Chain A
Amino acid sequence: MYTSADLKKGLKVVIDGDPYVVTVFDFSKPGKGQALYRTKLRNMITGIAIERTYRPGDTFEPALLEEREMQYLYKEEHIYHFMDNQTYEQITITEEALGETNHYLKENLNVKVLLFTDKAIGVDLPNFVNLRVIKTDLWVKGDTSGSDSKPATVETGYVLRIPPFVQEGELITIDTRTGEYSTRVKE
């Protein structure tokens, strides 16, 4: 059990059965009065942010999250299938729970799957992933239209802007933290 004195940014606790992470924390105390612990928390399943104020002596159940190395296998309807690299056990995660991380899920990609009470609630991606451009406009050498980027679709279906010189069929590195083009991969 945690008490309000343990509250700090990054602490993970259970509220109404869901795991939450503390995103903003401050201690305040009116002169000679009782301490108040003011927090903002994010629901780790739905992503919804809430504000809560706690008093001394309030207690919290720690949200015990397990992280397991898994490989992304395939997608069926809106369900994503993963395999535990150690046990070969297979699990599924819904598109909803994945949120934007599904932009980067390419078959055989290794990710860290977060589990809460044995239920997968999301994945932690590597900071950079390589994906192939499957659709983009042709670049005409000597084009002086001044445009410094163009739209492109990568093999996962994700659409982003890339520099004009990158051609269809090329492999690019994307920063998963920003969703932006990083470099072209030489093959």
Chain B
Amino acid sequence: MAKNWTLVKRQGALRARANIVQAIRLFFIHEGYFEVETPHRIPAPAPESHIDAVPSGSWFLHTSPELCMKRLLAAGYEKIFQICRCWREGERGSQHTPEFTLLEWYRANSDYLGLMEECEALIPRVASTLGLREMLRFRGQTIELSPPWERISVEDAFQRYAHIPMKKALAEHRFDEIMVEEIEPHLGRSKPAFLYDYPGERAALARLKKEDPSLAERFELYIGGLELANAFSELIDAKEQRNRFLSEQAHRRSLSKRSYPLPEKFLEELESMPPAAGIALGVDRLVMVLLDGDTIDDVVAFTPEEL
């Protein structure tokens, strides 16, 4: 048999990837988190308008471990993390594979600002295990990792980079398009950037801001224009969560998308969840950034097309 040269060439990247995953584990263990494993196959994924779960029998492969991890939080597990495979149907591009690796961590009695600080500590620590000091090169940009990182609200980002303001983009249903084409390329070019305070309707599981309930306490982390992580101050009002799920379900129906049963056990137990913050970080993308990979294909053992 002929040797698979793609795999031969990828060995360096995959070894670095193994070191990165190891460094993430050590970071969280050192910070007093404990690692959990929750089922990949679940009966009811969170209904979100634009995230599609892959069916598995009459159940689904999870799109993130969020609901199960929040049930652990609700039972008093205060600092937990998980590194696991997730599936999202139809997502394939230079930065997406339909099966990918997520790092999620949750912390009771914290909020999204606390998570920003943890990101600022985690990523430089992981980078240092690869011999990267305070700088990294990604897509021709030199990015400085030392905190504090840039923080820019979604509204300000529209003001600064887009041709129309955020409210107008929402009204014209062009929020996502403008985000991808006009805003994202500018984010995190010289330092990683937190894009924060999303419109409430774009954050189905996030807590709304007390000062301005049209906004949600949600942020996304960008490095060199690439989105790496999504975080919230978690919504812990079970009644409001049910309403948000119902409206996401209605939106899915209007787009003729598959409907999921409501995650009833999660909704029941959410009542006892303490105030908390949680974040999902794409491990494949973190590896891309740290190794200056052009596409996600450079940092995975096999792409779906290679199977």
Contact = CB atoms under 8 A, between A and B. Distances in A.
A30 B51 contact: no
A139 interface: no
B202 A32 contact: yes
A5 interface: yes
A22 to B, nearest CB: 13
A28 interface: yes
Contacts of A32: 48, 50-51, 202-204, 230
A31 B227 contact: yes
Contact of A30 (B90, B179, B255): B179
Nearest to B92: A27
Given A32-B48, A33-B175, A57 B184 contact: no
Contacts of B96: 27-29
Interface in A38-75: 53, 55-57
A30 B93 CA distance: 13
A53 B90 CA distance: 17
A57 B255 contact: yes
Interface string B231-260: 000000000000000000000000100000
B177 A29 contact: no
Interface in B43-92: 48-51, 90-92
Interface in B177-216: 177, 179-181, 184, 202-204
Given A28-B180, A53-B181, A57-B255, A33 B92 contact: no
A34 interface: yes
A33 B50 contact: yes
Contacts of A30: 176, 179-180, 184, 220, 227
Nearest to B89: A5
B164 to A, nearest CB: 16
B63 to A, nearest CB: 11
A33 B176 contact: yes
User: What 3 A-B pairs have minimum CB-CB distances, sorted nearest first?
Assistant: A27-B93, A33-B176, A30-B179
A28 B49 CA distance: 16
A36 B220 CA distance: 18
B275 to A, nearest CB: 22
B95 interface: yes
Nearest to B228: A31
B4 interface: no
A26 B94 contact: yes
Contacts of A36: 176-177, 180-181
A151 B175 CA distance: 57
Given A29-B91, A30-B227, 16 more contacts: A27-B92, A28-B93, A28-B95, A28-B96, A29-B180, A30-B179, A30-B180, A32-B51, A32-B203, A33-B50, A33-B175, A35-B90, A36-B177, A53-B177, A56-B255, A57-B255
Nearest to B202: A32
Nearest to A34: B176
B179 A33 contact: yes
Contacts of B180: 28-30, 33, 36
5 contacts: A31-B220, A33-B179, A34-B176, A35-B90, A35-B91
Contacts of A26: 93-94
A142 to B, nearest CB: 47
Nearest to A33: B176
Contacts of A35: 50, 90-91
A27 B91 contact: yes
A57 to B, nearest CB: 7
B177 A5 contact: no
A30 B92 CA distance: 13
A89 B48 CA distance: 58
Interface string B96-132: 1000000000000000000000000000000000000
Nearest to B181: A53
Contacts of B255: 56-57
A29 B50 contact: yes
A128 B160 CA distance: 55
Contacts of B203: 32
